[in-house]
Structure 1
Amino acid sequence: MTRKLPALTPENSSFWQGGKTNQLMMHFCRQCDRYFHPPGPVCPSCASDAVHPKAVSGNGRILSFTVNYQPWAKDLTVPYSIAIIELDDQQGLQFISNVINCDPETLSVGLPVKVCFEQHDDVWIPLFEVNQ
């Protein structure tokens, strides 16, 4: 599938390139001791600029998901899933991704997943697989 790649910035490059070393990098605030996503120059909780990228476990659970059957592009294989993943490292630390390498019909809320990466040029897209 052709993916539209993000523009790399000083704030987000660790997130998009962490897969090179098989690490899911999230921004972490030293002031309030919390991860946050999407990455940015200041913490959304306390407004501190004492933030830096830090690796997380990459393990999480599906909070919600949908299965798409519409081939929106000619190179898009259907069905595919879009899921909200909450990482085990911190309650509320979540983002949207795809769950791959499984039948989308077998997904369920609460299903454990783990990160994997798909490389496109100098970007590593964080995707998830069922963690058995």
Structure 2
Amino acid sequence: MNYDVSQAIPGEKIAITTDTFTEPFWQAAREERLTACHCADCNTFRMPPTAYCPNCQSQNTDWPTLPGTGTVFSFAICTRSPYPDVPDFTYVPAVIDLTGAPGARLVSNIVGLPAGDVKIGMEVKVDWNPIQDGWKLPIFRKV
């Protein structure tokens, strides 16, 4: 099937809320840095961030800056707008294995190429989609 070029979800439609555990991720994204929650005691990465490390139950974390690359673990192709007031467009939600953060995966979108060209194992790099309230959402493009 021939698909259109994948696009980002319109930023004006995306609002986030933060809490103690997610704020460092969103602050880094605002600065266009990709990061992931890392246990300072056992070195386990986790996404999404949680109060306790699933490996050792520690609450000690750090947030290293990652290279901003990854590989597509899974994806879907969507051709209908999720918003009734936005015309249909093609978007590709994807699960990305993050380089430099073993075991951490981020749900995001692949943009900028025909949706039919997206493949599992494809290398991607981060880009940034401005969203509401001055925040930025990480999205990915083919390397």
Per the TM superposition, whether the score is higher than 0.5 is: yes
Shift of 1:34: 1.9
> Within the alignment, does 1:68 sit opposite 2:78 as a pair?
yes
> Within the alignment, does 1:98 sit opposite 2:106 as a pair?
no
The C-alpha deviation readout for 1:111-130, integer Å capped at 9, x for no partner, is: 10011111222321111111
Q: Which runs of 5+ in 1 are unaligned?
A: none
* Secondary structure of 1:55 counterpart: coil
**Superposition pairs of residues 1-132 of structure 1, within 5 angstroms:** 1=10, 2-73=12-83, 74-75=85-86, 77-120=88-131, 121-131=133-143
State the TM-score, normalizing by the size of structure 1: 0.89
Question: Residues 126 and 76 from structure 1, CA distance in 2 versus in 1: closer, same or farther, beyond 3 angstroms?
Answer: farther
Question: Residues 5 and 49 from structure 1, CA distance in 2 versus in 1: closer, same or farther, beyond 3 angstroms?
Answer: same
Structure of greater relative contact order (alpha carbons < 8 Å, 6+ residues apart): 2
RMSD between superposed Cα atoms in Å: 1.6
Q: Percent identity?
A: 23
Q: Which runs of 5+ in 2 are unaligned?
A: 1-9
Shift of 1:10: 2.2
Shift of 1:53: 2.0
Shift of 1:75: 1.8
Matched residues in 1 for 2:48 and 2:61: separation? 12
